[in-house]
């Protein structure tokens, strides 16, 4: 055993001298890790090197150099030995014969879980690349919720892959660069890892837009000469003032990277010359109190630009970033941005959560608290997302770099992404508050629920027990929490409505064959469920209710055998259907998402109606006289309005009039007086001196519409009023 160990150490010593990547890693690790931790890293290298033996990267170099480089990036962040060992081993499960169990046996549960979290999902066939990407991303996010180091290893892995893109094909380079900008750059930003983020942005931008990258960098260089002297003058004046005030601080020049400049030009729709904060100053001091003193000193020296001050010390960004930001008018009224922060804040601004990872204690810090809050949101998104693609899209939506700060009526602060609405705020308070939201006030003034919020506003949400999410909310919400909760609620509501409607429609179809669902033996039902690959009767009702299964065909299959036997377990169905003989299916107007009313003929209560199946969307209700009904070959579902129908329904009327001033206003006045909302008005000139208007209005039923038409006909200069027919 001793001889084997000595032999391994001897081989490792030889490899270290011949492998620059290994030598670089050990040099960085030795600077802050103890001997036992270094030995763990060496053991991981020996294991990984043996596993990857003979494998080469696209560049032709030994594959082991990649995991060593990833580990080296983590060592630069001063991550713990477990993270570095996991980085060295992160590809062995995916690319070699080694299993997760082998890692567990050799290195323990902690490292095995990290490696498994970073590894892609294998042995599963996906329908598309997007689905595979989404599944892998979902797996990584959930692993990250158990151990934050998973994402740190993955970000380091992505950074090294980006550094070595040149050996790949153009299409693959573009795909990886776009994926990096869409997913990994925002995650690095969310975790406060600014240094790593900037490099990922720079390489991605250079790969996707090489010409723009080159032009912007050239423009920066051309402006650099004048700006260096300009910054030096301001630096000198601020330094002198701080010395007079006995404040210790270091002042550094800062330059935006090419991608940040490009984003600003694109967002503001301005030229390069209009971007004023390409260069700036960063003042780093010792204490928070000194930050505010420096802020006051700079404002005494130079006039501040109104509205450009941000206090991220009092209210940190969502990733834990803290600093004071201000824009000053320098010499010749040239604006210059100044960032003021402590040394600790500066260190965190560069490395984010990695700077607070205490490898000896496991790293419990405020930075991790911010990250864990975000991870909790991801877990909630996962629970409310129907699939991994949906989850990935929701997380993309949630990764907004800009924030606003809203006050609750009690004075608490809620942080939300830029462009958030009242509904986004309501869901940030609690899911139930969002689901039951019916009205809102901003600074005690009633506002629509779609209102976009601004920092500093106080928002009060008004809820009612009967409140429920509206599908239209999805058009203006921006937060993932709001979007996933609304979708989840609507999906549940649609499922319940589809189940009820599907059962009624199926029983109506069975009635045409002289039977009902309660009279069908279970063996017949089970056979049908197997045919459609469904688990239960409720699944069958839902699929029929959503229009995915034609009820006539399902009923025909169930009614093949005669002499049906009533089953006791169908008693619950009887309660739903009742003992009443079923003729047509009654429409109450409360079916919601599974019933749609045709735009071509706009049926309203009192009309003779029929239904057509619409796959995935339930049923579409048409008027019996609709031309589209006469043309279709789809089997009709015979339906009728219930005795009591709720809600309002759109109808269209055409008004023929003389072209006289005030006619349109008079018509609108009558419609409004009869409690109808005008959804749309279309004007068609027929022939002078006559005109034609088409009004789309909301009515309760045929009688309500008839009253409107009757009153309109009484108006002066009105020649004819009629309802349109599809």
268: tokens are 């503001």
SS3 601: coil
Q: Could you report how far apart the first and last alpha carbons of the chain are, in Å?
A: 89
Are the C-beta atoms of 153 and 114 separated by less than 8 Å?
A: yes
Q: Which helix (H) or strand (E) holds 154?
A: helix 149-163
Residues contacting 165, CB < 8 A, separation 6+: 173, 176, 177, 203, 207
Q: Which of 50, 80, 91, 95 is catalytic?
A: 95
**Residue 629 φ/ψ, nearest 5 degrees:** -65, -40
428: tokens are 């940030």
Distance, CA of 691 to CA of 192 (rounded, Å): 64
Are the C-beta atoms of 624 and 607 separated by less than 8 Å?
A: yes
Distance, CA of 255 to CA of 249 (rounded, Å): 19
The 10 Å Cβ neighbour count of residue 169 is: 9
HSE of 707, CA atoms in CB hemisphere, 13 A = 14
95 counts as catalytic: yes
Residues contacting 81, CB < 8 A, separation 6+: 29, 33, 37, 38, 40, 41, 359
640: tokens are 């009728």
Q: Which of 50, 61, 94, 679 is catalytic?
A: 94
Cα-based angle 417, 421, 647 (whole degrees, multiple of 5): 150
How far apart, in Å, are the Cα atoms of 198 and each of 203, 258, 349? 9, 10, 12
512 counts as catalytic: no
Strand partners, 620: 596, 612
Active-site residue numbers?
94-95
């Amino acid at each position: 055993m001793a001889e084997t160990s000595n032999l391994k150490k001897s081989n490792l010593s030889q490899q270290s001298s011949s492998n620059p990547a290994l030598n670089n890693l050990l040099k960085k690790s030795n600077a802050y890790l103890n001997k036992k931790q270094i030995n763990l890293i060496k053991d991981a290298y020996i294991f990984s090197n043996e596993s990857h033996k003979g494998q080469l990267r696209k560049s032709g170099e030994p594959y082991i150099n990649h995991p060593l480089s990833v580990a080296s990036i983590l060592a630069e962040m001063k991550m713990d030995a477990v993270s570095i060992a996991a980085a060295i081993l992160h590809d062995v499960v995916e690319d070699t014969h080694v299993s997760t169990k082998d890692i567990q046996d050799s290195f323990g549960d902690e490292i095995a879980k990290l490696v498994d979290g970073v590894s892609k999902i294998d042995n599963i066939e996906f329908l598309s690349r997007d689905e595979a990407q989404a599944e892998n991303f979902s797996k990584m996010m959930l692993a990250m919720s158990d151990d934050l180091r998973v994402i740190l290893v993955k970000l380091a892995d992505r950074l090294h892959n980006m550094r070595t893109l040149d050996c790949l094909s153009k299409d693959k380079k573009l795909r990886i660069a776009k994926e990096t900008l869409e997913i990994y750059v925002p995650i690095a930003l969310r975790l406060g890892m600014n240094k790593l983020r900037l490099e990922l942005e720079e390489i991605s931008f250079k790969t996707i837009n090489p010409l723009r990258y080159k032009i912007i960098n050239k423009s920066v260089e051309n402006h650099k000469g004048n700006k260096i002297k300009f910054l030096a003058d301001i630096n000198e004046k601020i330094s002198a003032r701080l010395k007079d005030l006995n404040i210790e601080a270091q002042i550094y020049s800062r330059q935006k990277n090419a991608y940040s400049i490009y984003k600003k030009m694109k967002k503001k729709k301005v030229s390069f010359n209009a971007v004023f904060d390409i260069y700036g100053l960063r003042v780093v001091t010792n204490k928070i109190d000194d930050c505010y003193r420096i802020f006051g000193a700079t404002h005494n020296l130079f006039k501040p630009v109104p509205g450009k001050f941000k206090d991220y010390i009092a209210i940190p960004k969502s990733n834990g970033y803290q600093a004071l930001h201000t824009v000053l008018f320098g010499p010749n009224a040239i604006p210059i941005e100044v960032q003021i922060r402590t040394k600790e804040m500066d260190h965190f601004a560069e490395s984010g959560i990695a700077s607070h990872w205490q490898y000896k204690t496991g790293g419990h810090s405020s930075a991790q608290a911010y990250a864990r809050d975000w991870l909790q949101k991801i877990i909630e998104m996962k629970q409310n997302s129907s699939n991994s693609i949906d989850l990935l899209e929701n997380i993309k939506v949630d990764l907004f770099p800009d924030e606003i700060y809203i006050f609750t009526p009690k004075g608490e602060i809620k942080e939300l992404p830029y462009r958030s609405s009242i509904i986004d705020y309501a869901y940030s308070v609690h899911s139930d508050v969002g689901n039951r939201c019916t009205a809102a006030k901003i600074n005690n003034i009633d506002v629509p629920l779609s209102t976009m919020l601004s920092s500093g506003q106080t928002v009060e949400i008004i809820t009612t027990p009967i409140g429920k999410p509206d599908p239209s909310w999805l058009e203006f919400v921006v937060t993932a929490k709001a979007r996933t909760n609304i979708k989840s609620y609507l999906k549940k509501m649609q499922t319940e409505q589809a189940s009820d409607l599907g059962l009624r429609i199926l029983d109506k179809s069975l009635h045409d064959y002289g039977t009902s669902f309660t009279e069908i033996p279970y063996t017949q039902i089970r056979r049908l469920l197997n045919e459609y690959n469904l688990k239960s009767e409720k699944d069958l009702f839902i699929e029929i209710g959503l229009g995915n299964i034609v009820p006539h065909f399902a009923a025909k299959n169930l009614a093949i055998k005669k002499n049906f036997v009533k089953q006791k377990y169908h008693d619950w169905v009887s309660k739903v259907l009742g003992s009443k003989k079923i003729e047509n299916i009654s429409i109450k107007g409360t079916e919601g998402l599974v019933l749609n009313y045709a735009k071509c003929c706009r049926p309203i209560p009192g009309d003779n109606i029929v239904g057509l199946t619409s796959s995935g969307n339930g049923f579409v209700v048409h008027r019996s006289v609709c031309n589209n009904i006469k043309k279709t070959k789809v089997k009709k579902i015979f339906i009728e309005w219930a005795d009591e129908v709720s809600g309002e329904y759109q109808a269209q009327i055409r008004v023929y009039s003389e072209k006289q001033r005030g006619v349109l206003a008079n018509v609108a006045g009558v419609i409004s007086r009869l409690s109808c909302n005008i959804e749309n008005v279309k004007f068609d000139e027929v022939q002078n001196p006559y005109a034609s208007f088409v009004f789309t209005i909301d009515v309760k039923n045929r009688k309500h519409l008839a009253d409107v038409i009757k009153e309109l006909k009484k108006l002066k200069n009105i020649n004819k009023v009629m309802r349109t027919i599809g």
